[in-house]
Amino acid sequence: MPYDNCDGESVPWPGLSAEQTGVWLHRYQRNARVYAWGFYVALLPLVFIIIWTSMGELNADVFWSLGFFALVTFLLAFFSQRTAEAQWVGVVVDKYIKTTTPPRHTSGRNGGSGYFCIAVLTKQNKKVLIRASQAVYAYFALGDLIFKAPALNWPEKATLAGSTRMCLCCGAVLQQLEAACPRCQAPVLDHDAAFRFSANE
């Protein structure tokens, strides 16, 4: 499908088509789930053997220790999975640089003691805080309508503007007409299809 770039020229779209994007997103979501829970399930027998051999015998303590480990890692896996699976559409309501030590200079020079925060209010009235890189921080403006696709880590603007876009997998800021992300190799998705997928439309 041809694509109008920001100069109004019609050029062939190098990324995935709308259909390919839908298929890719479903597969990515399923794989992310399989990897997360597969890792958890694979870890348990290993931990069982470690506890067993360190205790020297198979007794109730081994099972209590394993149960405790299983519960803690299950909760960790569950909550990280829930954060990753979240999908929303929202508005950027605040942007700020959080400094962990008092800033020495206000010229924007960042000595590694601060990080960039973007606050989003979703349509479900939930506040989401995104800890961003400097490039991502600069990319999103106050008042932007943005969305996050399930299983993908980074949000994107509902309406692309300018010559850049986000890699939804790794948060790199890409040129609009890139076919794949140079940093993580993820394909560039069809923007409207990714938006519809996230907005459940």
Contact positions toward Zn ion, by CB under 5 A? 167, 169-170, 172, 181, 183-184, 186
* Cα–Cα distance measured from residue 19 to residue 69, given in angstroms and rounded to the nearest whole number: 42
The nearer residue to Zn ion, 172 or 193, going by C-beta atoms, is 172
Minimum CB–partner distance for residue 168 and Zn ion (Å): 8
- The number of beta carbons lying within 10 Å of the beta carbon of residue 190 is 23
Token representation of residue 110: 């960042």
Minimum CB–partner distance for residue 192 and Zn ion (Å): 20
Minimum CB–partner distance for residue 163 and Zn ion (Å): 17
Three-state SS for 40?
helix
The nearer residue to Zn ion, 172 or 194, going by C-beta atoms, is 172
End-to-end distance of the chain based on CA atoms, in angstroms?
21
Minimum CB–partner distance for residue 36 and Zn ion (Å): 19
Minimum CB–partner distance for residue 194 and Zn ion (Å): 14
Minimum CB–partner distance for residue 183 and Zn ion (Å): 5
- The number of beta carbons lying within 10 Å of the beta carbon of residue 14 is 13
The nearer residue to Zn ion, 89 or 174, going by C-beta atoms, is 174
The nearer residue to Zn ion, 51 or 139, going by C-beta atoms, is 139
Angle value at C-alpha 177, between 171 and 180, nearest 5 degrees: 50
* Cα–Cα distance measured from residue 130 to residue 92, given in angstroms and rounded to the nearest whole number: 10
The nearer residue to Zn ion, 136 or 169, going by C-beta atoms, is 169
User: Which residue from 177, 149, 16, 6 is spatially nearest to 85, judged by alpha carbons?
Assistant: 149
* Cα–Cα distance measured from residue 136 to residue 81, given in angstroms and rounded to the nearest whole number: 23
Cα atoms in the 13 Å half-sphere on the side-chain side of 6: 10
The nearer residue to Zn ion, 16 or 66, going by C-beta atoms, is 16
